[in-house]
Amino acid sequence: MDEIAVLGVGMHPWGKWGRNFTEYGVAAARDALDDAAVDYAEVGFVSGAVTVRCGYPGYVAGSTFARALGFTGAQLASSYSACASGATALQVARGQILSGACEVALVAGADTTPKGFLAPNAGDRPDDIDWLRFHLVGATNPVYFGLHARRRMDLYGATTDDFAMVKVKNSRHGVHNPNARFTKEYGLDDVRNSPVVSDPLRLLDICATSDGGAAMVVSSMEWARSHGHRDPVRVAGISTVSPTYPDPVIDLPYLAADSVADPSAPLVGFKESIGARAYDEAGLGPDDVDVAEVYDLSSAMELDWYEQLGFCAPGEAERLLRDGDTAIGGRLPVNPSGGLGAFGEAVPAQALAQVCELTWQLRGTAGARQVDGAAVGITVNQGLFGHGSSVIVRR
Amino acid sequence: MAVGVVAVPSQAMSRTRTPAVEGLFTIDDDGEPRLIGGRVPGTQSYFFPKHLGGADPRVGPVELEEVLLSRRGRVWSYTTSHYPPPPPFVVTAEPYEPITIAAVELEQEKMVVLGQCATGVGPDDLEVGMEMELTVDTLYQDDDCDYLVWKWRPADTGLEG
């Protein structure tokens, strides 16, 4: 796959600000344009990642951001794929650039989130599986996180302290991140003493919902080089894969996994397939990765990703964590930004925020969070309803 | 095959017992609660719920046949939700009582299905791999009606669902 250049990145700090999401998206976009030293008039395509919690302007995020920056006649798209929306918006922009439809694209996502559990749309909706899981089972998002964490304990002997240690590690990283919402360094006892939300996971094991915004300015490699960006961070792979039937793992928002009674059916792990596609596009593998940003919706989920991205064999993630391999200074630092544990989730911005962090890491400008010598980074996340998301950047 | 409204005799004469959402479970000819699934005819590709469970891409357009799924299975995992879920979940106890949820792999279909655990079944009663069976229990009530849902309980415990 041909590469595109990351000219600039920007974020609006995560928090619980309670303001219009447009404000965060526009602030992030202006930062990204400044960082890229690109005149907004050069942007031929605005790719917005959608929020479904902020009314109609959220559904047409590309237009909303473009109008707030000033309409220029640029082409627009708005993408929604739940937590994967940012990667999808980037994927759409890459397609525009590589097809020659535009040279420079602005990609942005932002959200303003309500307090508490994310919930389905209102009304009586028995044909909506997302409504059914709440109504009939009470299966909130943390319920699924709890099921997977318990499974990890049963299969691999993980402990609740292992999960807590993920939070502790990521909080040590997040202390150094001015865009993070939670900049307190947590200890094991803080996690142990927080209330149980979805057994075995406690409040500090589960990510909050946040307000925030992230944006990127991307271009063709030719345009970058002819405009003074001689050695930009490059996007080498983007994965937005769906699962492969039958997927035996129960995941949100479904009431049932697929049946695997048919022995002739192919068995492809969905989460493993997300990173695999990005590696294929980039022509790289797990051994090439220097730094990763993974979706720690729960602390235990971060451990699953170590294995699903091929950093270790199944069952060995706890050892990587305990050995310090995935802390800054270790062999393969994971979530140097502080991850969702330090940010909370601003859904349409999050996948872009992951790439922003890796861009700073690969430029060597991440300050106290810097991973020495980082040249290849991978992000991974997953949107409910089967949206994979992984981006590989390299220098 | 009995589908649609499950007519279950009520102990309180005036109360009606009805599924909270129709078409997802029934009582079979032996009086046992069963989930209603779909199957690609002649294959082992099963779906639940029948109309919202996806499709097997290896077969062309096909009308799924309605099948009653295994009543028994084994615990794949479980959790207890200590905070009340938001609407459309109906919180029935004040203060809220934590609900335990099990993911159970059905015996024949090898398909993991979520469900609340029956009243009185908590995490200390469960472990991964143990055998469970389907029951029908009250999800919530109003003045006239008990609204029912499928739930999981340990097999052969004699617990009343």
Whether the per-residue pLDDT at B1 is higher than 50: the answer is no
Asked whether the beta carbons of B78 and B89 are under 8 A apart, the reply is: no
Distant-in-sequence, close-in-space partners of B64: CB < 8 Å, separation ≥ 6: B38, B39, B40, B41, B47, B50
More confident residue, B1 or A348: A348
Distance of CA A372 to the CA centre of its chain: 22
**A29-40 pLDDT, tens digit each:** 999 999 999 999
CATH 3.40.47.10 intervals, chain A: 4-116+209-226, 234-394
pLDDT tens digit sequence for B64-113? 999 999 999 999 999 999 999 999 999 998 899 999 999 999 999 999 99
- Chain B: closest CA distance from residue A195 (Å): 9
Q: How confident is the model at residue B6 (pLDDT cuts 50, 70, 90)?
A: low
Q: Is residue B102 part of a domain?
A: yes
Measured between CB atoms, does B20 come within 8 Å of chain A? yes
Query: Which residues in chain A have Cβ-Cβ distances shorter than 8 Å to B140?
Result: none
Domain of B97, in residue numbers? 16-154
Token pair for residue B57?
């891409």
Long-range contacts of A123-131 (CB under 8 A, 24+ apart): A124/B88, A125/B88, A126/B21, A126/B22, A127/B51, A127/B52, A129/A253, A129/A254, A129/A255, A129/B49, A129/B52, A130/A253, A130/A384, A131/B88
In angstroms, the Cα distances linking A163 to A116, A181, A323, A360 are 22, 20, 14, 27
pLDDT tens column, A103-139 = 999 999 999 998 877 788 888 999 999 999 999 999 9
Give a yes or no: residue B7 inside a domain.
no
Asked if A199 lies within 8 A of B80 by C-beta distance, the reply is yes
Comparing C-alpha atoms, which of B67, B102, B89 is closest to residue B139? B89
Chain A residues with CB inside 8 Å of B128's CB?
150-151, 154-155
In a domain, B127, yes or no: yes
* Among candidate residues B108, B107, A231, B130, the one with its CA nearest the CA of residue B117: B130
- Across the interface, whether the CB atoms of B21 and A196 are under 8 A apart is answered no
Q: How confident is the model at residue B152 (pLDDT cuts 50, 70, 90)?
A: very high
pLDDT surpassing 70 at residue A145: yes
A197 touches chain B (CB under 8 A): yes
CB-based contact B52 A117, cutoff 8 Å: no
Interface touch A256/B111, C-beta < 8 Å: yes
Is A160 in contact with A311 (CB distance < 8 Å)?
A: no
Using pLDDT thresholds of 50, 70 and 90, give the confidence band for residue B12: low
For residue A157, pLDDT over 80 is answered with: yes
- The per-residue pLDDT for A258 is 97
- Within 10 angstroms of residue B58's Cβ, the number of other Cβ atoms is 14
Nearest CA in chain A to B89: A135
Q: What is the pLDDT of residue B3?
A: 44
Domain count of chain B? 1
pLDDT of residue A119: 82
CB atoms within 10 A of CB B28: 12
**Topology of the domain covering A4-116+209-226:** Peroxisomal Thiolase; Chain A, domain 1 (3.40.47)
pLDDT of residue B2: 42
From chain B residues 75-104, the ones with a CB under 8 A of any chain A CB are 76-83, 85-90, 99, 101, 103
Domain assignment present for residue B81? The answer is: yes
A245/B21 touch (CB, cutoff 8 Å), yes or no: no
pLDDT at B4 over 60: no
Min Cα–Cα distance to chain A from B8, Å: 19
Q: What number is the average pLDDT over the span B3-29?
A: 76
Residues A194-206 have pLDDT tens digits of 999 999 999 999 9
Q: Which of A117, A136, A260 is the closest to B21 by Cβ?
A: A136
User: In angstroms, rounded to a whole number, what is the distance separating the alpha carbons of residues B117 and B124?
Assistant: 12
Asked whether residue B159 is assigned to any structural domain, the reply reads no
- CATH top class, domain A234-394: alpha beta
Q: How confident is the model at residue B161 (pLDDT cuts 50, 70, 90)?
A: very low
Residue B93 pLDDT: 84
Q: Determine contact: B130 vs chain A, CB below 8 A.
A: no
Residue A277 CA to residue A297 CA, distance in Å, equals 22
Nearest by CB to residue A250, choosing from B21, B56, B114, is B114
Q: Which residues of A touch B127 (CB under 8 A)?
A: 154
Q: How far apart are CA A212 and CA A49, in angstroms?
A: 13
Percentage of chain A exceeding pLDDT 70: 100
Summarize pLDDT for A316-343 with one digit per residue, the tens: 999 999 999 999 999 999 999 999 999 9
- Which ranges in chain A belong to alpha helices (H)? 21-36, 56-59, 61-69, 85-98, 129-132, 141-156, 160-174, 188-192, 221-226, 270-282, 299-308, 317-322, 339-343, 347-363
Among candidates B44, B52, B116 on the partner chain, residue whose Cβ is nearest the Cβ of A138: B116
How many CA atoms lie less than 13 Å away from B63 in the CB half-sphere?
Answer: 2
ipTM computed for the complex? 0.93
Answer with the residue of higher pLDDT: A247 or B11: A247
pLDDT of residue B15: 85
Report yes or no on B10 lying in a domain.
no
Q: Which of A127, A136, A144, A204 to mutate to test the interface with B (most CBs of B within 10 A)?
A: A136
B152 in reach of chain A (CB within 8 A):
no
Which residues of chain A neighbour B51 with C-beta distances below 8 Å?
Answer: 127
Q: Give the pLDDT of residue A121.
A: 82
Tokens of A360: 């700073």
Give the pLDDT score at A294.
98
Three-state DSSP class for residue A376: strand
Q: What is the rounded radius of gyration, in angstroms, for the C-alpha atoms of chain B?
A: 16
* pLDDT, mean of residues A304-309: 98
Q: Is A143 close to B21, i.e. CB distance below 8 A?
A: no
B160 assigned to some structural domain: no
Between chains, do B21 and A132 touch, taking CB under 8 Å as contact?
Answer: yes
Contacts of A124 in chain B (CB under 8 A): 88
Of A122, A126, A256, Cβ closest to residue B53? A256
pLDDT band at B32 (very low <50, low <70, confident <90, very high): very high
Instruction: Answer whether A132 sits within 8 Å of B108, measured CB to CB.
Output: no
Other CB atoms within 10 A of residue A394 CB: 22
Residue length, chain B? 161
pLDDT band at B157 (very low <50, low <70, confident <90, very high): low
pLDDT score at B11 = 55
Average of per-residue pLDDT values in chain A: 97
Q: Residue A153: what are its φ and ψ, rounded to 5°?
A: -65, -40
Provide the pLDDT for residue B73.
Answer: 98
- Give B-chain residues touching A158 at CB under 8 angstroms: none
Cis bond leading into A348, ω under 30°?
A: no
Which of A121, A258, A260 is the best mutation test for B, with the most CBs of B within 10 A? A258
Of B81, B128, B149, which has the smallest distance from its Cβ to A151's Cβ? B128
Contacts of A197 in chain B (CB under 8 A): 81-83
pLDDT, tens digit (0-9, with 9 covering 90-100), for B13-22 = 678 999 999 9
